[in-house]
Structure formats: C-alpha cells, structure tokens
C-alpha cells in the first residue's frame, strides 16, 4: 500500500506538471496557436466598405476604389490565417479573393483602405426642400445639371428654354409651362386696332404641392394689379424658405415681382411695363419636362402663329420694287418717307435703352413700329435685364453671368429695315 500510494502521488504530480506546461504554452503562444478565426469580421468589413445596407454589388464597382478594398480584404484574411487553418469559410474566402483579383484586373500590390467596421454613423442629411441639396447629393457629376431661361415680352417675343427666339401672333390664353411641378399661363390681347400685334395683360402661375415643402400656391398678375403676394394673401409657402415672393424695382421706374421656389431651383420675374406685362423664368432642364401638351417655353409658338423671316426673303424684292420708282434714280416715293422717319425715331429710342444691336434691340424697334407705343421699348430692356439676372447656366456656375445672346431659330429680322417690312406685312 505504501508503494501504491507513492506511485499515485507521483502520477498526480506528473499530470499537474503536464497541465502547467500546456497552460503556459497557451499563454505564451496565444497570439499564434490560440487565436480565434476572425474571417467573419473580414467578410463584414469588406461588405460594409461598399454597401452599408449589406448588399455588395461587385459587378457595379470595377474601379480603383474596388481594388483598394479588395486588397484590404486580402490583408485581413492573412492576419487571421493562423486561427483559421481548419475553417472552411476562411478557405472559401481566400479562394474567392483570388478569383476577384483576376476578374477585376486588380494587382495584389498597392494601397489598402483601412478596415471598415459596419458604419453606425448617419448619412449626410439631404434637404428635400432644396433642389441644389438634392442634386449635389447625387455626386460631382450633378454639378453639370443645366438651367434653362424662358422669357416672354413685348409684341410678344418669346425666348424658349432651347434658346430659340420667336416673334408670334398669339392672342388669347396660352400655356408657357405645364408639368407636374408648375403651370404658367399667359393671356395676350390686341394692342392696336386693325393690327395683329398682341401683348400680355394677364399671367397666372400655379405652384403645385410638393411633399412637405409647399402646398399649392397660385400667383396671378394683371395690368391693373401686380401683387406681391399669392392669391391667398401669403408671401411664402411651405417649410422655411421653400417658396417666397419679393417686390422690387427693375429700373427706369418699372415695377417687378420676383418669386423664388427653392425646392424647384426655380426663379420667376414678372414685370409691369406700361399697360402690359413681361415674364421670365430660370428653371432646371430636368424639371421642365415633356408631357405631350403645348408648352411655349419648351416647343415655341405653333407654326401658324410664328412670324418667320424667310417669308420676307421671298417678298423683299417685290416690296422694295413697290417702294422705289424705276426711273427716279433710287429716290423714295411719296409716303415711304413717313415710314423711314418712324424707323429712325424707333431706332433712336431703342438705342437709348439698349447698347448692342442684338435680338432684343430688333424686338424693341419692331414693337415701336407695330404699336407706336414708346413704353414698349422698356419691355425689351426689362427682358434683357431678366436674362442677365436669370441666365441659362449649370449648377456649377453659381454666380450670374451675362450670356451670349443669339438667335438659333432665325426668327428675328437681320436688320431694322426688315423690322419695317414686318410692320407693313402685319398691317
């Protein structure tokens, strides 16, 4: 018994020593042989680097950023390799990484992004009631979003969102804009009895309800009343500064009202010039959408209502032959001198307002000849000022600029002499 007890004691001491050695080795070599397999964390960080919601779309991201994240994924798996020798998920990930390097033509050498844990931070707050905020949230390419300008003034003359310039005979109510965000309608009435010249005496603007930014608001101006408020008596609508009206002076004693719709990235100027009104708008092209209906700002005036310069080219010789005598050495016949005198007075008057003989200058001369109303010269001046204040541009061009003024529709006459011809044709 004594010998057996001694043997048992020796066995217990040996077992204790073995256990001590095992524990000591685990403590000393823990980073190497006792490390847990952390492949699931590597997988989670890789997925989170592209899709915080957990949906990795490898085919959509074959770019430099993708290769950087892939190298970070590979580095993470190498760091946890010792703890994952018998883990099937680990070996599957290593095999998949090799496939992705080849599939996306990524090099294993290069920069690696820092490992991302699934983000808990909130995404940047986008102001739904601010058009620019919504667009900029789409990324740098959104800075190329374009704004268009449309204006209607004078007899009337129309500049469309496509920078086409037209002179029209539109009488009655006509839609300038009609889409799911905004509707604008103008009413034109005859200016001079016996002439087809018309001008705008009523403008109705309807801002349609948009999310929580604004409820429906209606603005209406007439020649008797240019209000600085919506029809319900308010000067603003919706949350914060989503929609508001401000009254001001357009120079030369011209009254004007500006309407700013921040949620649409849109500004409108309505002017009262003598007995008539002018209209101008700057609006993002992606909001000025097609809807199949008539919109003068998008499509221009109907063909039957447009005064076309090429009509004059076919009749010019015949008309000039009627004005000049065949044997009088080129002297003007009686009656034409009065028209020439009117042309000179109109030209002088328009030069007082407009420094450059562009399409706005031609419109000014045309209006004075067709109506005889000197106040019409201010309509062209106001329209040019509106173009400077609300120029066609891109979102990246933050400051107003004076745009190049031209006519792509060849509707404006090439000289003040042709303006006189137009006047005679209309009467």
Same domain for 240 and 298, yes or no, is yes
The CATH code of the domain that includes 207 is 3.40.1000.10
Residue appearing with tokens 């883990």: 87
CB 264 within 8 A of CB 243: no
pLDDT in tens, the chain (427 residues): 555 555 555 556 555 555 555 445 544 444 444 457 888 888 878 877 754 433 334 444 445 577 888 888 888 888 888 888 778 788 888 888 888 888 888 887 777 754 444 444 555 677 889 998 888 887 777 777 889 999 999 989 999 999 999 999 889 999 999 999 999 999 999 987 777 788 999 999 999 999 889 999 999 999 999 999 999 999 998 777 899 999 987 777 789 999 999 999 999 999 998 889 999 999 999 898 777 688 999 999 999 999 864 333 333 333 333 333 334 444 445 555 666 788 888 899 999 888 888 899 999 998 888 888 888 889 999 999 999 999 988 876 644 443 434 333 333 333 444 444 444 444 4
Same domain for 111 and 226, yes or no, is no
Same domain for 243 and 351, yes or no, is no
**Number of C-beta neighbours around residue 303 at 10 A:** 7
- Overall domain count for the chain: 3
pLDDT of residue 50: 59
**Number of C-beta neighbours around residue 203 at 10 A:** 24
Domain end call among 90, 118, 146: 118
**Which residues, 6 or more positions from 291, have their beta carbon under 8 angstroms from its beta carbon?**
178, 179, 180
Same domain for 419 and 367, yes or no, is yes
pLDDT of residue 222: 95
Distance of alpha carbon 235 from alpha carbon 220, whole angstroms = 13
**Which residues, 6 or more positions from 99, have their beta carbon under 8 angstroms from its beta carbon?**
none
Same domain for 252 and 360, yes or no, is no
- 230, part of any domain: yes
- 20, part of any domain: no
Same domain for 301 and 407, yes or no, is no
Q: Which helix (H) or strand (E) holds 178?
A: strand 172-178
- 241, part of any domain: yes
Nearest in space to 421 (alpha carbons), one of 323, 344, 302:
323
Same domain for 188 and 263, yes or no, is yes
Distance of alpha carbon 204 from alpha carbon 218, whole angstroms = 7
Same domain for 39 and 160, yes or no, is no
- 101, part of any domain: yes
pLDDT of residue 268: 97
- 10, part of any domain: no
Same domain for 157 and 291, yes or no, is yes
Domain end call among 272, 305, 338: 305
- 24, part of any domain: no
pLDDT of residue 45: 81
- 326, part of any domain: yes
Distance of alpha carbon 276 from alpha carbon 221, whole angstroms = 10
Distance of alpha carbon 280 from alpha carbon 296, whole angstroms = 13
Distance of alpha carbon 154 from alpha carbon 128, whole angstroms = 37
Distance of alpha carbon 57 from alpha carbon 42, whole angstroms = 17
CB 268 within 8 A of CB 281: yes
Q: What is the DSSP letter of 323?
A: H
Strand partners, 270: 257, 279
Rg of the chain (C-alpha set):
38
**Which structural domain range is residue 90 located in?**
33-118
- 4, part of any domain: no
Same domain for 283 and 398, yes or no, is no
pTM above 0.75, yes or no: no
Same domain for 112 and 152, yes or no, is no
Domain end call among 69, 84, 118: 118
Same domain for 301 and 379, yes or no, is no
């Amino acid at each position: 018994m004594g010998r057996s007890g001694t043997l048992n004691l020796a066995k217990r001491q040996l077992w204790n020593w073995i256990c001590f050695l095992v524990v000591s080795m685990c403590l000393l070599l823990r980073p190497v042989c006792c490390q847990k397999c952390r492949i699931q964390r590597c997988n989670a960080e890789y997925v989170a680097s592209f899709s915080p919601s957990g949906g990795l779309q490898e085919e959509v991201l074959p770019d430099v950023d993708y290769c950087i994240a892939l190298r970070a994924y590979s580095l993470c798996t190498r760091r946890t390799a010792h703890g994952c020798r018998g883990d099937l998920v680990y070996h599957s990930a290593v095999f998949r990484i090799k496939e992705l390097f080849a599939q996306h033509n990524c090099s294993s050498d290069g920069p690696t992004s820092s490992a991302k844990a699934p983000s808990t931070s909130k995404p940047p707050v986008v102001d739904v009631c601010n058009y620019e905020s919504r667009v900029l949230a789409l990324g740098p390419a959104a800075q190329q979003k374009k704004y268009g300008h449309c204006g209607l003034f004078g007899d009337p003359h129309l500049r469309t969102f496509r920078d086409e310039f037209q002179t029209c005979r539109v009488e009655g109510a006509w839609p300038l804009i009609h889409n799911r965000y905004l509707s604008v309608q103008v009413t034109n009435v005859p200016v001079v009895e016996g002439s087809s010249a018309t001008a705008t005496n009523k403008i109705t603007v309807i801002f349609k309800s948009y999310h929580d930014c604004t409820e429906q608001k209606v603005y209406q101006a007439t020649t008797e009343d240019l209000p600085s408020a919506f029809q319900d008596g308010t000067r603003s609508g919706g949350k914060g500064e989503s929609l508001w009206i401000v009254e001001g002076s357009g120079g030369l004693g011209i009254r004007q009202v500006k309407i700013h719709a921040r949620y649409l990235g849109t500004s409108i100027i309505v002017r009262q010039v003598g007995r008539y009104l002018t209209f101008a708008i700057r609006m993002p092209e992606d909001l000025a959408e097609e809807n199949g209906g008539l919109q003068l700002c998008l499509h221009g005036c109907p063909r039957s209502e447009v005064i076309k310069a090429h009509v004059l080219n076919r009749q010019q010789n015949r008309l000039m032959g009627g004005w000049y005598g065949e044997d009088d050495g080129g002297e003007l016949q009686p009656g034409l001198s009065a028209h020439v005198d009117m042309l000179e007075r109109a030209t002088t008057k328009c030069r007082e307002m407009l420094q450059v003989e562009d399409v706005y200058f031609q419109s000014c001369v045309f209006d004075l000849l067709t109506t005889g109303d000197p106040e019409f010269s201010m309509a062209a001046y106001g329209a040019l000022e509106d173009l400077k204040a609300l120029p066609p541009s891109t979102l990246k061009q933050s400051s107003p600029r004076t745009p190049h003024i031209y006519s792509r529709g060849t509707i404006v006459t090439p000289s003040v002499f042709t303006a006189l011809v137009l006047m005679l044709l209309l009467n």
